[in-house]
Amino acid sequence: MYLDALIALASTSGASDLHLEPGLPAAIRVRGQLRSVGEPLSPEALLSAAKEVLEGELWPSFVERRSADLAKTISGVRCRLNVLCSARGVGMAIRLLTPFQASIERLNLHPDFKRIVQTTHGLVIVSGSTGSGKSSTLAALMEEVNRTERRHIVTIESPIEYLLQPKLAFVRQREVGRDTPSF
């Protein structure tokens, strides 16, 4: 697969993101800086890669909406993909997700975060700019519950980024568009 080589290159380069746009070279983000790599990408190759990534029922939805979000493991790297249409054709914005198990300690979050997940009522809102660690923080909070309490964890995500392995908790992760029609 065409995308395999690009993701492998991004991963070995230590990139956090990979941007693909027809007619332009691939762009990787390393330590916050974008840099172009390789030759310009052909519209045909990107369209073919998009069809492969969006195989099955996701393709008709993409054609209708002109955008699709999903998570997938490609070349051994868990990725969050946004397949999109632009003036040049079909492109992709890909976030390479870190392979570590998120925890409050590993993310160096304040110990008070453990108290947040001990409550049985209320609403917790995690917000921030792109790349600020929202998904990692939420994964760490869920993992804290998962390893310390016998609860039922249900997530509705778009897309699922970090797959949780049940420990003490019963974990059920649902992806919008695949497992449920909406939030």
Q: Cβ neighbours of residue 97 under 8 Å, at least 6 residues apart?
A: 71, 77, 78, 79, 80, 135, 161, 162
d(CA 116, CA 118): 6
Asked if the model's pLDDT at residue 44 lies above 90, the reply is yes
pLDDT-based confidence at 49, cuts 50/70/90? very high
For tokens 């019963």, name the residue: 170
pLDDT tens digits for range 118-142: 888 888 888 988 778 888 899 899 9
Q: In the chain, pLDDT over 90 holds for what percent of residues? A: 53
Give the relative orientation of helices 2-12 and 43-53 as an angle to the nearest 10 degrees.
90
**Averaged pLDDT, 67-91:** 91
For tokens 């939805």, name the residue: 61
pTM of the predicted structure, to 2 decimals: 0.72
d(CA 6, CA 18): 8
pLDDT score recorded for residue 100: 62
Taking the domains of the chain in order of start, what are their residue ranges? Answer: 2-96, 113-175
Q: How far is CA 129 from the centre of its chain?
A: 15
Q: How many CB atoms lie within 10 A of CB 42?
A: 13
Question: What is the chain's mean pLDDT, rounded?
Answer: 89
Beta strand 17-20 pairing with 25-30: antiparallel
pLDDT tens digits for range 80-113: 999 999 999 999 999 998 766 788 998 899 999 9
d(CA 5, CA 77): 12
For tokens 């029609």, name the residue: 181
> What one-letter code names the amino acid at 152?
H
pLDDT score recorded for residue 72: 87
The pair of structure tokens assigned to 11 is 């991963």
pLDDT score recorded for residue 86: 94
**Averaged pLDDT, 23-52:** 94
Asked if the model's pLDDT at residue 178 lies above 90, the reply is no
DSSP 180: B
Class of domain 2-96: alpha beta
